[in-house]
Amino acid sequence: MKTVTLPSGETVAAFGQGTWNMGDERAVCAEELATLRLGLDLGAALIDTAEMYGDGRSEELVGEAIAGRRDEAFIVTKVYPHNASRKGIPAACERSLKRLKTDRIDLYLLHWRGSVPFAETIEAFIALQKAGKIRHFGVSNLDLGEMKEWCAAPGGGAVAANQLLYNLERRGIEWDLAPWLRERRVAVMAYSPIEQARLSRNAKLAGFAKKHGVTPSQAALAWLLSKGGVIVIPKTSRRERLKENLAALDLALSSNQLGELDRLFPPPAGPQPLDML
């Protein structure tokens, strides 16, 4: 398994499992559980969820998937901005811990910016760290200006990751945010790396994939995995699709292939507003 090193020096799997919209339908829960467990078997130990996903149902599904295997998994979950206060974060964390059936969260993220001052959120995160409830903390959907503000607050420099919308069609962070994060060894967690499966149906990517004997999803994931400090967290509820996606780890794109993808999906020519879903 390819790994990414967090600012603390700890390494985590560069290929994780997303869970957005998982746990919502009983009819497919068995396959979702089997998929998450297979991911653990195959080394995709990082599992990303959030209290927002299905009002906690996703966290409950993850808790069931890691039962008896907690030490194999690196669990990431996210707190709502309206819960990200000095009093709100400890309560939200306890609810997530209960749903996940664990005593600690490996990486706890602010889901997006809200009205609570960053300094207050960071203070609460640090208190949870000291209590052993979380191991690392980070953010999601923060642009460069917000990252600078976060890191200027007391304790904010300990940020481990920024989870961002990043894929072949969403390259805006490459202009300024991604280089800034890379300099500080803050991991980029690329959510929707296949654009919620839309890239698998993209005609340009399909042509590239056919030419090089891979699937469009594998090409999209391999492109992200070729970049240092990037963790991909594609979501799938099916074991067969998980195995297809994981094969991207064995796909080393050449400089010519990377150049071809740049021509098909050009990098940004200037600063852009942060993309979010």
- DSSP assignment of 41-68 equals HTT--EEE--TTGGGGHHHHHHHHHTTT
Q: Which amino acid is at 52?
A: M
User: 77: Cβ–Cβ under 8 A, 6 or more apart, which residues?
Assistant: 48, 49, 50, 51, 59, 96, 100, 105, 107, 108, 109
In this prediction, residue 130 carries a pLDDT of 98
Q: Which amino acid is at 149?
A: E
In this prediction, residue 189 carries a pLDDT of 98
CATH of the domain spanning 3-198+220-253: 3.20.20.100
Measured CA angle at 197 (ends 275, 41), to 5 deg: 105
User: 171: Cβ–Cβ under 8 A, 6 or more apart, which residues?
Assistant: 265, 266, 267, 268
With a cut of 50, which residues of the chain have pLDDT below it?
none
Which residues, in sequence order, are bridge partners of residue 136? 107
User: Any idea where the domains of the chain sit in the sequence?
Assistant: 3-198+220-253
In this prediction, residue 27 carries a pLDDT of 83
Report the distance separating Cα 58 and Cα 118, nearest Å: 26
Distance of CA 149 to CAs 100, 213, 221, Å? 31, 45, 31
Which helix (H) or strand (E) segment is 231 a member of?
Answer: strand 230-232
53: annotated active-site residue: yes
pTM over 0.85: yes
In this prediction, residue 201 carries a pLDDT of 94
Angle between helices 203-212 and 255-264 (to 10 degrees): 160
In this prediction, residue 205 carries a pLDDT of 98
- Which among 53, 108, 166, 191 is annotated as catalytic? 53
Identify the residue whose tokens are 């974060």.
89
In this prediction, residue 40 carries a pLDDT of 97
Q: Which amino acid is at 78?
A: K
